[in-house]
Amino acid sequence: MIPFTIFLALIVIVCFLLILVIMVQNPKSGGLSSSFGGGGQLGGVQKTTDFLEKSTWVLGGALIVLILLSSLSTSSGNSGSKLVEDAASKPAPVPTTAPANTPASKPATDPAK
């Protein structure tokens, strides 16, 4: 259970970073690159957009890998599936006595008579 918790924390961090990187980008050069001079080619701005694009791909790939690893860590532990199997194998409790407040049942009458 501890490896899954570690993977879950890493997935949340990667998702947060991915959201930040995507929000900073603007495909029509109006995002972070426009604050450095307007054009996409001035003073290292092209490198900023390249970095943001590469970091998006790296974070997206890392997210997929972490999700797959967390799935493998939960399936190897079998703790969750064992709980489901235990619950499915136990029969539901059946009440042995009727509740005290139930009215007596009336005999069914045939409406055709």
C-beta separation of 17 from 23 below 8 A: no
**Higher-confidence residue: 109 or 19?**
19
C-beta separation of 36 from 48 below 8 A: yes
**41 has pLDDT over 60:** no
Q: What is the pLDDT of residues 61-108, one digit of tens each?
A: 999 999 999 998 887 655 555 555 655 667 666 767 766 666 666 666
Distance CA 31, CA 23 (A): 9
Q: Rounded to two decimals, what is the model's pTM?
A: 0.52
